[in-house]
Every structure is written in structure tokens, then in C-alpha cells.
Amino acid sequence: MALVFLGIGSNLQREKHVRIAIDALTKDFGELRLSPIYETEAVGFTGPPFLNLVAWIETELSLAEVQRWCKNLEAAHGRELQAERYSSKTLDIDILLYNHDCVEATADTPQLPRDEVLLRAYVLRPLADLVPYMTHPRTGISFLEHWKTFQRSSNTSLTPVPFEQLESSLV
């Protein structure tokens, strides 16, 4: 079984799309662990704030198959596959880690670990919350230690959003 960490984000009908992602992951992969949800400003463009979290799944699927699953779910829920990288999104699901593998990007698979893990607060903080003592595959340093260093060097704004708020907004 592979341990896979997925970054989930949305800034268009964001509560709806985050719930869709969580439900689809549960349906197709069974039990999953979730980080807290954070509201963050759009990065690299002007747009509505995002909801971001990290999900931990276990699967028999290969890295390429997980990548295909993520892209299919994004497309099924309005994600424009040719949209600019820094733009609003209905649903964005990125493979952050697959086991402890270090992989160079190909046409079918992403680079792992993703650069965003150490560059973006909306990825690093949820990972540090979910698996604080797990180490980054390239640096060997825990996600919690990376987060502590990141915090000291950044004015990052992350606002926790309780799951209950997500649930109540869908009723």
C-alpha cells in the first residue's frame, strides 16, 4: 500500500468543491485522514480566497494512476485543464508525496515531493498539522521543523476554518 498525501484547494464554490473532493476520496480510497482546513489568499494572482487542506490516503494505485484519478475528478467538477497555473479553480488536487519517493516529473507523473511543500504555507502548514514528525524526503527534516522555520521568515496569513463551518455552509 502506498501512503499518499494530496493537497486540496478551491476558490470557486469552495465549500462545495472541497466537500466533493473529500467525499470522492472516501468513496474510492476508504478511510482517510485530513488536516485542518485553512483559508488563504490567492497566490500569484488576484482572486477570491482559497480553502486548502491535505488528505492522507492509502492506495494500491500507482503514482500515474493516482495522478489520473486527481485530474479526472478536477475535470468532472469544472476545472479547465488548460487554465493558467495561477488562476481561480473549482478544484485543485495535487499529489504532494507518494510514499517517501523522490520522482522527476514526466508526462504522466508529477515531480515528488512537490516544490510547493516547502514554498507555500497553505501546503506546509496542513502537512505539519497532519504529520508533524514525518520527514521531507529530500531534506530529512520534519514538516513541523520546516513550518517553524517558514513561520519565522514569512508573513503568511492562514485562517483555520472549522469542518463544522464547511458542513453548515452546505446545508
CA nearest 22: which of 10, 75, 110?
10
Cell of 154: 514569512
- Structure confidence by residue, pLDDT tens digits, 94-127: 999 999 999 998 888 889 999 999 999 999 999 9
Domain count along the chain? 1
- What's the pLDDT tens digit per position in 6-44? 999 999 999 999 999 999 999 999 999 999 999 999 888
Q: Residue 70 phi/psi, 5° resolution?
A: -60, -50
Record the pTM. Answer: 0.92
C-alpha cell at 33: 485522514
List the CATH number of the domain containing 78: 3.30.70.560
Pairing of strands 158-161, 92-98: unpaired
Average pLDDT rounded to a whole number, residues 141-167:
81
Range of the domain at 91: 2-169
Q: What is the separation, in whole angstroms, between the first and last Cα of the chain?
A: 35
Share of the chain above pLDDT 90, in %: 70
Overall average pLDDT of the 131-136 stretch? 97
